[in-house]
């Protein structure tokens, strides 16, 4: 008999933190609105299902391009394929913003990746990746080079 896994380490238990989700949901609504707990639960379940859906499709996109690592471009393509193309612009902008902040951190030396790119090289690399991503989003048929496997912290824990 298997013991109850109350710590939630089983494969099916990965979900999103309720407190964070509740805050996000509430922020989207007028302040005097209440959300029933089971409605919150359902929203969270829907979000997890959304991640599953996009993940599967991203995986497919990645396979088709014969890449080993699911990259942001694959996720963006998946969003488009599944009808969430409207999200792409904002998602991409958030990604770019993160890249900028990451570059700042790299410059300050926190992310020493051994390659030690100069600032110009880092910026050039960044522009190249953006251009590739844009080309992909614009329906470019050519497969981009695997660009970020070495330079970015890619983990598969």
Per-residue binder mask for another protein (CB under 8 A), 78-107, x = binder: -x---xx--x--xx-xxx-xxx-x------
CA–CA separation, 154 vs 51, rounded Å?
Answer: 19
116: left (phi over 0), alpha (psi -120 to 50) or beta: left
Per the structure block, which two tokens stand in for 88? 């792409």
Q: How many CB atoms lie within 10 A of CB 117?
A: 16
CA–CA separation, 60 vs 54, rounded Å?
Answer: 10
User: Any contact of residue 148 with another protein (CB under 8 A)?
Assistant: yes
Check: CB of residue 122 under 8 Å from CB of residue 107: yes
Kindly state the helix (H) or strand (E) to which residue 19 belongs, with its residue range.
helix 18-27
> At closest approach, how far in Å is the CB of 145 from another protein?
14
> At closest approach, how far in Å is the CB of 123 from another protein?
17
Per the structure block, which two tokens stand in for 75? 């996720």
In the list 18, 35, 119, 134, the residue contacting another protein (rule: CB under 8 A) is: 35
Per-residue binder mask for another protein (CB under 8 A), 118-147, x = binder: ------------------------------
Where on the chain is the footprint of another protein (CB under 8 A)?
11-12, 14-17, 20-21, 23-25, 27-29, 32-36, 38-39, 41-43, 45-56, 58-59, 62-63, 67-72, 74-76, 79, 83-84, 87, 90-91, 93-95, 97-99, 101, 148-149, 152-156
């Amino acid at each position: 008999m298997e013991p109850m896994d109350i710590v939630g380490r089983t494969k099916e238990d990965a979900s999103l933190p309720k407190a964070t989700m509740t805050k996000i949901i509430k922020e989207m609504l007028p302040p005097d609105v209440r959300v029933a707990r089971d409605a919150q639960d359902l929203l969270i379940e829907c979000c997890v299902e959304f991640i599953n859906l996009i993940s599967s499709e991203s995986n497919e996109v990645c396979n088709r391009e014969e890449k080993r690592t699911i990259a942001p471009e694959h996720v963006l393509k998946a969003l488009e394929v599944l009808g969430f193309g409207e999200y792409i612009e904002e998602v991409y902008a958030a990604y770019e913003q993160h890249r900028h902040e990451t570059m700042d951190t790299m410059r300050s030396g926190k992310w020493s990746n051994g390659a030690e790119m100069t600032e110009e090289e880092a910026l050039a690399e960044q522009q190249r990746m953006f251009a590739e991503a844009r080309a992909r989003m614009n329906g470019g048929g050519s497969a981009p080079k695997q660009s970020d496997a070495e330079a970015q912290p890619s983990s598969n824990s």
